[in-house]
Amino acid sequence: MPLTLPDLPYAKNALEPHISERTLEFHFGKHHQAYVTNGNALIAGTEFEKMALEDIIRKTTGDKDRVGIFNNAAQVWNHSFYWKSMKANGGGKPFGAIAKKISSNFGGYEQFLDEFKKAGATQFGSGWAWLVMDNDKLKIVKTTNADTPITQNLKPLLVVDVWEHAYYLDYQNRRPDYLTTFADKLINWDFVNSQLS
């Protein structure tokens, strides 16, 4: 089946105290698993059954008759990318190629951070804040619900999930605190650099 639940790149308690094991049990074990299960049920016996995940997403985006397939497939992709965007003892200032790119595109790390956190904090309702490459330029974009930059020919480098299930057990209604912690303690800059290259 094309929709699979990936292994987490760390133990469920590895991101504590910033993201609790309980949050990951629900977020990964229940929400992400449900997108995989529901998506596979929707594509069973269809032309999408043998397609790669990204192809399913691109072929169903904007199709009102296939919105269920799109939502589940895109959420599988978005969540898989989100897990890789974090690591234990991550966060802080970037390094390597992405640090140079952030400096040249945003004028410095602080300017990038302000814009990235603002995107996450001002995303109304459920969604995502992304750092992407648009041709050769870095941009920050936000998407609602299951939308994903790969349908806009943008290359994702980093994402933070701002659906409430991503942070509510740990931060309740304090989304800005979650975003600050994500930036200061969790961003996996090694992964971001790997996406840049």
**Residue 197 — pLDDT band, cuts 50, 70, 90?**
confident
29-64 per-residue burial string, b: 16 or more CB within 10 A, e: under 16: eeebeebbebbbebbeeeebeebebeebbbbbbeee
Q: How confident is the model at residue 1 (pLDDT cuts 50, 70, 90)?
A: low
pLDDT digits (tens, 9 = 90+) for 30-65: 999 999 999 999 999 999 999 999 999 999 999 999
d(C-alpha 173, C-alpha 122), whole Å: 13
Whether the pLDDT of residue 127 is over 90: the answer is: yes
- The predicted model scores a pTM of 0.96
Question: What average pLDDT does the segment 89-102 reach?
Answer: 97
Whether residue 23 is predicted with pLDDT greater than 80 in this model: the reply is yes
What's the mean pLDDT in 104-114? Answer: 97
Mean pLDDT of the 136-164 span: 97
DSSP codes, the chain: -----PPPSS-TTTTTTTS-HHHHHHIIIIIIHHHHHHHHHHHTTSGGGGS-HHHHHHHHTT-GGGHHHHHHHHHHHHHHHHHHTB-TT--SS--HHHHHHHHHHHSSHHHHHHHHHHHHHH--SSEEEEEEEETTEEEEEEEETT--GGGGT-EEEEEEE-SGGGTHHHHTT-HHHHHHHIIIIIB-HHHHHHHH-
Average pLDDT score over the chain:
97
